[in-house]
Structure 1
């Protein structure tokens, strides 16, 4: 019998699953894209990265997260006979003011987290739908939430607030920051492999379809580019990033747009996709000859450079820059563009090491690293720790 911890990262149209032993060895990973669409497809691999066979009766497309979960579980059970899932860890984007550590989910906590859906409308409902699917699939098994906002909850007040009347801060309108599981992993990796750097001042750039940056000093989050919502900060695949709120009032007053239309514009129709008119995928934009595609890449890298300098200022300097996320880990072009002409800040990139995707690519006094992130193992570790307190 194989006792295992399952991790779920449920998105609006995707689902990532990780299967780990009780000692946190990776057993298998699964990823489903475009859930609810005809082209939805699942990839499942073992610990060595070898694809695992899908069941003959598996659907050609997956209409729900629950259907994807059941198919992945069937594959896991075929590869690990007698599989027993002892805990399920979930990425939950928003923990609000009250939840800053992993915890076992109850109905009361689920209701509390559901009330945070307006704070993260594209993420929170789907995260909680993944929990519901897990509860139905594994009756009685502990479900444990790990919050993306938790890593940032120790921010100084001035980095956590907006210049609004204080009553709004008390109501929860504040800068939360996101991608905390990724930053938690990178911070831990630095502490394990680069303890001197980890004790200093590091900016981590999590660059992907969702993108943000975090200033980490002595292993603690000091500032993040994302604020009240996951639409703030850097431009992303389909999200605007930072925008003048006066534009939103203009869209309401002059264009007659309501909140739902504005939400769709900010979250789904903007960013790299909206600027380029071509794609939200950086690989497509880098290969495109369309002028607007180049403009979108220019703006993306410009905003990263601008935020990088601001985050360094928030820490009183910078000792290291770490790239992670799909774009950060895989695009030497973007890494080079971000670091271009930053010698004044002590940042430079070796073009040969950068093209070779080496771990260390810097040439200046500031170390520049590329470290693949792993949110799933952070969730699994948290689930293991909470499970231990339950069993005790």
Structure 2
């Protein structure tokens, strides 16, 4: 069954085609700088254990135009992978915010689209684009089932005492103000891989997703019971450009004493903070290079970054009443052995003891990097959100 996965951002569109239930993609690609000068597409076809890469450049005005060019790459030329749009059985869409309405993969109907539209204000950078891509895909792949998989769905198992804020109930009832959580598709995928590795279902796992956006989730018996991102994707851990947790009094102070507008404050905490604000770059590789040169600000940025993660590990160990495993995943989690070492240091009282040799020998596949005698498994698991979306679509249709 051919399932095309679309993961759209504000100016980008990632896609992968799977012939389910095969896990390896048939092809994948990225449409970048949509609506911006310098637009390009990188399309990769996987055939006979070889990668065939096609690159195209030229202005792409909108996501609809980008998807049309993707369709041409899928159906035309030497490396065509389908004969026509009718060969696609389903299109799986990553939708960032599903509110309280959706707990799993959902067949898209007019009512589902209405609910996605109602949530535009809660995810203004993502849900409108996700919605537009659904509409374009409906026109492009007329006979395919359109399916939405929501970032927030995995976290709908969080209990009320964890998802409610300590403000009057009216704000929850009337405005939907509560913890929703994000990166749910990633946390779900890696925690299921961990359960298979541990060969048990009843587990207490802390999943740490470290990319440009960062979040940490407490998972008990396969279900999310708490997560660091809340009403929006700003809270919790320090990130590439986001501040993570910050005392709201700071916001009030800057408004009252420095005349900051809401737009300036949003830009500050979402786009000018985190690694960028403290260390000078949002890219961990740049920060590492500056640290090697003795840059004091970059050194502090790394200390802050690791410290925040350790605080959450301690908190989630408490609410889980123990830990079977912690997981590192996503760009930084999978590739930065020094950060893994910093996070795991001085946590031996929890049973977390990292093996330095195993840690530095990580090779890109699921790996156990704890000491053999350690009580808690430390796992590095590559996330695969696109496959997880395809898997959920396949299960829904099956």
- Note the 1:1-392 alignment, pairs <5 A: 4-25=2-23, 26-47=25-46, 50-54=50-54, 58-78=56-76, 79-83=80-84, 84-171=87-174, 172-196=176-200, 198-277=201-280, 279-288=281-290, 289=293, 290-357=295-362, 359-363=367-371, 364-388=374-398
CA contact (8 A) 1:53 1:75 kept: no
CA contact (8 A) 2:40 2:57 kept: no
Aligned residues: 382
Per the TM alignment, residue 251 of structure 1 is displaced from its structure 2 partner at its CA by 2.4
Distance 1:243 1:50 in 2: 47
| CA gap 1:28/1:267 in 2 versus in 1, 3 angstroms | same
Distance 2:198 2:66 in 1: 38
CA contact (8 A) 2:181 2:231 kept: yes
Moved more, 331-340 or 20-29: 20-29
CA RMSD of aligned residues (A): 2.0
Per the TM alignment, residue 140 of structure 1 is displaced from its structure 2 partner at its CA by 4.4
TM-score between both structures, scaled by the size of structure 1: 0.91
| CA gap 1:68/1:125 in 2 versus in 1, 3 angstroms | same
Moved more, 242-251 or 288-297: 288-297
Distance 1:386 1:246 in 2: 45
CA displacement 1:238-297 (0-9 Å, x = unmatched): 1111111111222222232332222222222211112222x2111111111332222212
Distance 2:277 2:99 in 1: 30
Per the TM alignment, residue 37 of structure 1 is displaced from its structure 2 partner at its CA by 3.5
TM-score between both structures, scaled by the size of structure 2: 0.90
Per the TM alignment, residue 81 of structure 1 is displaced from its structure 2 partner at its CA by 4.1
Per the TM alignment, residue 376 of structure 1 is displaced from its structure 2 partner at its CA by 0.7
| CA gap 1:32/1:298 in 2 versus in 1, 3 angstroms | farther
Per the TM alignment, residue 123 of structure 1 is displaced from its structure 2 partner at its CA by 2.3
- Classify the secondary structure of the residue corresponding to 2:26: strand
- Classify the secondary structure of the residue corresponding to 2:297: helix
Per the TM alignment, residue 187 of structure 1 is displaced from its structure 2 partner at its CA by 2.2
CA contact (8 A) 1:4 1:21 kept: yes
- Classify the secondary structure of the residue corresponding to 2:178: coil
Distance 2:138 2:241 in 1: 31
Per the TM alignment, residue 179 of structure 1 is displaced from its structure 2 partner at its CA by 0.6
Distance 2:60 2:347 in 1: 46
| CA gap 1:143/1:239 in 2 versus in 1, 3 angstroms | same
- Classify the secondary structure of the residue corresponding to 2:313: helix
The answer for unaligned runs of 5 or more in structure 1 is: none
- Classify the secondary structure of the residue corresponding to 2:368: coil
Distance 2:20 2:376 in 1: 38
CA contact (8 A) 1:173 1:228 kept: yes
- Classify the secondary structure of the residue corresponding to 2:225: strand
Distance 1:30 1:341 in 2: 41
CA contact (8 A) 1:102 1:386 kept: yes
| CA gap 1:346/1:39 in 2 versus in 1, 3 angstroms | farther
| CA gap 1:177/1:116 in 2 versus in 1, 3 angstroms | same
Distance 2:145 2:256 in 1: 48
Distance 1:202 1:235 in 2: 21
Distance 1:235 1:328 in 2: 13
CA contact (8 A) 2:45 2:53 kept: no
Per the TM alignment, residue 148 of structure 1 is displaced from its structure 2 partner at its CA by 0.9
Per the TM alignment, residue 124 of structure 1 is displaced from its structure 2 partner at its CA by 1.9
Distance 1:275 1:61 in 2: 35
Moved more, 30-39 or 85-94: 30-39
